[in-house]
Amino acid sequence: MSKVRVLVGTRKGAFILSSDGKREKWDVSGPHFAGWEIYHVKGSPADPNRIYASQSSGWFGQVIQRSSDGGKTWETPGGEKMPTPGGMPAGQSNKFVYDTSSATGRSLTTHQWYDGTQHPWEFKRVWHLEPSLTDPDAVYAGVEDAALFRSTDGGKSWSELSGLRGHGTGPKWQPGAGGMCLHTVILDPSDPGRIFIAISAAGAFRTDDGGKTWKPINRGLRSQYIPDPAAEVGHCVHHIAMHPSRPGVLFMQKHWDVMRSDDAGDSWQEVSGNLPTDFGFVIDVHAHEPETIYVVPIKSDSEHYVHEGKLRVYRSRTGGNEWEPLTKGLPQSNCYVNVLRDAMAVDSLDSCGVYFGTSGGQVYASADAGDSWAPIVRDLPAVLSVEVQTLP
């Protein structure tokens, strides 16, 4: 019988929630890395026992953790003692250094700061880890300040794909309230050279050559909070989702507005439709129905909690515009939680499971594509990310 493993990152550690295909009874393990902020935990599609975790702390900085046994044990790749003649380790564990090579460095030095001046790039943390679709040792890291790194040795060493920061608009990028983070990395299963990424607050970008060259893909986005609402960059994209069977169709939750692209991001149309508010963070796509999408509307950008005190997932079966609230099993009064951008995921069982985590520490699961919900756990630290592995 199939199983699911839900990987949860929180403000104070990681948790792994496991169940069989019925998704009724759950085993909870954790906290792993207790006391540390775990921005993201994600498994390799090529080897589900390989899991990567981003562990960070204001005191101690960034640590990358890796498991090769499905999360039972963890190691810091590159952190093992290496008996080299000089006595120093060969690994470069946790080392994220921006490309400052003479060929590209000059244009990569600064971005826009809150006061409009230019400010140097400063590495802070890894927001998102995206394992390769085919190689368990290859993984991408989206970081703050915004940049994309790649490891091809299981996380031991990291190198920047500096064509992103260097393509030309970098000096116009600026931090959002949560920092200038590269939070979304989507790999196109039909084209190994194509990667989509998103940055707050710069926008969405695409490469078609494996990360050498990039271009902004923000045409059609309108953001009233920037001087030119239709600018090429400067949009606070919160998250993007794609169904693997239709990699040219993208769904976006922007700061405000839910958007859709049918041409791999070359143009976007708003599909907020009848949502009660189109501010939010998460967006995801049903595992088997590419036109069925989910969002969790949040009241506003100054009130980061759900609308009307009701925790409602909204589902569209028409790829946007027509939305229905999903409330069964979710609190419908006195609820003031937030659901952050990486905190929703779907499994791929026949009856698609949908999962999300809240700032109040609840992780909710639906085994029937959102029709009904139940909490797996209620009292974790604030949830930062939720990912799901569907296991044989």
Partner 1 sequence: MIRVVLPAHLRTLAHVSGDVEIEVEGQVTQRSILDALEARYPMLRGTIRDHVTQERRPFLRFFACQEDWSHELPDAPLPASVASGAEPFLIIGAIAGG
Tell me which residues touch partner 1 (CB under 8 A): 34-36, 57-63, 76, 78-82, 87-89, 91, 93-95, 97
If the CB atoms of residues 79 and 370 are measured against partner 1, the closer one turns out to be 79
Q: Could you give the angle at the alpha carbon of 109 between the alpha carbons of 108 and 110, nearest 5°? A: 105
Q: Who contacts 306 (Cβ-Cβ below 8 Å, separation ≥6)? A: 296, 297, 298, 299, 312, 335, 336, 337, 338, 339
Whole-number Å distance between alpha carbons of 263 and 104: 30
Between 132 and 151, name the residue whose CB sits nearer to partner 1.
151
**Considering beta carbons, is residue 82 or 230 the nearer one to partner 1?**
82
Residue 328: how many CB atoms within 10 A of its CB? Answer: 13
In the complex with partner 1, which residue's Cβ is closer, 94 or 358? 94
Nearer Cβ to partner 1 (76/152): 76
Residue 77 vs 216, nearer CB to partner 1:
77
Integer-rounded Cα radius of gyration of the chain:
20
What minimum distance in Å lies between the beta carbon of 347 and partner 1? 31
Phi, psi of 24 (to 5 degrees): -110, -40
Contact 233, 223 (CB under 8 A): no
CB proximity list for 330: less than 8 A, separation 6 or greater: 310, 311, 312, 313, 364, 373
Question: Taking the C-alpha atoms of 54, 239, 336 and 271 in order, what is their torsion angle to the nearest 10 degrees?
Answer: -170
Nearer to partner 1, 155 or 216 (CB): 155
The nearest distance, CB 261 to partner 1, in angstroms, is 38
User: Any bridge partners for residue 143, and if so which?
Assistant: 126, 147
CB of 88 to partner 1, least distance (A): 5
Quote the CA–CA distance of 186 and 318 in Å, as a whole number. 22
CB nearer to partner 1: give 87 or 227: 87
Nearer to partner 1, 77 or 234 (CB): 77
β-bridge partners, 251: 241, 260
Residue 78 and residue 74: Cα distance in Å, rounded? 12
Q: Other C-beta atoms within 10 Å of 91: how many?
A: 18
Residue 63 Cβ vs partner 1, minimum distance, rounded to whole Å: 7
What CA–CA distance (Å, rounded) separates 321 from 238?
Answer: 19
CB of 33 to partner 1, least distance (A): 8
Burial annotation 167-186 (CB, 10 A radius, 16+ → b, else e) = bebbbebbbbebebbbbbbb
Residues of 51-86 as b/e, b for ≥16 C-beta within 10 angstroms? bbbbbbeeeeebbbbbbbebbeebebbbbeeeeeee
Shortest distance, position 77 Cβ to partner 1, whole Å: 9
314 near 297, Cβ under 8 Å? yes
